Amino acid sequence: MTMPRINKLVVIGVGLIGGSFALALKKAKVVKHVVGVGRSRRNLNAALKLGVIDEIARDAASAVRDADLVLIGTPVGQMPGVMKAIAPHLNDKTIVTDGGSTKQDVIACARKHLGKHFANFVPAHPMAGTEHSGAAAAFPELYRGRKVIVVPQAETAARALRMVRASWVACGAKVVRLQAHEHDDILAAVSHLPHAVAFALMGTLAKRDDARHVLGFSAGGLRDTVRISGSSPEMWRDIFLANRSALVGAMDKYLFEINSLRKFLKAGDGQALQAAFERARDARERWLVKPARG
């Protein structure tokens, strides 16, 4: 795939996702100048100092003028306002993409606010992240070997799709294509539900009267399970609300499994418990554990 040549990249929301995108493209030497936009001047100053961006823009509207590529890396709840603000200032060649964890709502928002520029919008979602946020959390290897989902629409211009695909490939990612409803259903199960579990478990433990004492005994099991509860509450509030139908369905299936374990436990049915654990272990090994290389 021909690598893109980006004279001006605008990152709106210079956090882990947007900042890592900029750093990866810089490392690949396919971007000349990166302009950052965000709500926190402190974060933008840090991004500038760390070399994540080359310039701080006054606002999104002024930033996107003459841009080759715009990445909207804000929480999905902020995207309507961002798209409405930038639409009048986009030129016919500027390509816009996003990194949001939900797609049906983002596409509807883009269709409503971007108007004639909707054909140059490529919905995308990088399947990568950490529990950290802000420009200081960004690093160029975040996307290496990771999947990035693109969700082009019937109106999406071929040129725009090529640019966005090539940009993610330059970051070291593997680009796959899904339908919006398929994306949201899958992500509810493999990303949004695990975050709900982590938030709920940490919330349960924090409500104990002896929480400080109990958590002082935590080891790898708890720390591994609740690591992602350190993620941005604002970002995950927006994701949960945007994908609430699919997420509620995923929660219902999870609660069925929890209630089954509870039933086996109350009945003292060790055989049923072990069988459930074995099914889970085997599924993990079959689908999530990479085979050892000889």
Assigned domain for 222 exists: yes
Burial, 233: exposed, middle or buried (Cβ in 10 Å; 0-12, 13-18, 19+)? exposed
Do the bridges between strand 147-150 and strand 124-126 make them parallel or antiparallel, or are there none, so unpaired? antiparallel
Regarding whether 206 and 72 lie in a shared domain, the answer is: no
pLDDT at 291 over 70: no
For Cα atoms 209, 201, 283, give the angle at the middle one, nearest 5 degrees.
150
When the pLDDT of each residue in the chain is averaged and rounded to a whole number, the result is: 95
pLDDT in tens, 176-225: 999 999 999 999 999 999 999 999 999 999 999 999 999 999 999 999 99
User: Which stretches within the chain are classed as H helix?
Assistant: 16-27, 41-49, 60-63, 79-86, 104-113, 158-170, 180-187, 193-206, 211-215, 220-226, 233-242, 244-266, 270-287
Last residue of a domain, one of 144, 178, 212: 178
Last residue of a domain, one of 178, 206, 228: 178
Domain that holds residue 38: 6-178
What per-residue confidence (pLDDT) applies to 294?
43
Regarding whether 209 and 142 lie in a shared domain, the answer is: no
Regarding whether 206 and 138 lie in a shared domain, the answer is: no
Nearest to 174 by CA among 10, 45, 1, 5: 1
Assigned domain for 239 exists: yes
Q: Please tell me the distance from the alpha carbon of residue 48 to that of residue 213, in angstroms, as a whole number.
A: 42
Regarding whether 189 and 165 lie in a shared domain, the answer is: no
Regarding whether 26 and 46 lie in a shared domain, the answer is: yes
Regarding whether 230 and 207 lie in a shared domain, the answer is: yes
pLDDT in tens, 2-13: 778 999 999 999
Residue with tokens 């004492």: 213
Assigned domain for 164 exists: yes
pLDDT in tens, 246-286: 999 999 999 999 999 999 999 999 999 999 999 999 999 99
Regarding whether 166 and 49 lie in a shared domain, the answer is: yes
Last residue of a domain, one of 178, 197, 230: 178
Regarding whether 248 and 203 lie in a shared domain, the answer is: yes
For Cα atoms 148, 198, 207, give the angle at the middle one, nearest 5 degrees.
155
Question: Which CATH number characterizes residue 237's domain?
Answer: 1.10.3660.10
Regarding whether 228 and 152 lie in a shared domain, the answer is: no
Q: What's the pTM value of the predicted model, to 2 decimals?
A: 0.89
For Cα atoms 83, 89, 91, give the angle at the middle one, nearest 5 degrees.
105
Regarding whether 218 and 158 lie in a shared domain, the answer is: no
Return the amino acid letter for 62: S
> What is the arithmetic mean of pLDDT over 229-250?
95
Regarding whether 151 and 241 lie in a shared domain, the answer is: no
Assigned domain for 293 exists: no
Question: Which CATH number characterizes residue 57's domain?
Answer: 3.40.50.720
Assigned domain for 294 exists: no
Residue 13 Cα distances to 85, 144, 229, angstroms: 14, 21, 21
Regarding whether 249 and 187 lie in a shared domain, the answer is: yes
Domain total of the chain: 2
Assigned domain for 256 exists: yes
pLDDT in tens, 65-103: 999 999 999 999 999 999 999 999 999 999 999 999 999
Assigned domain for 292 exists: no
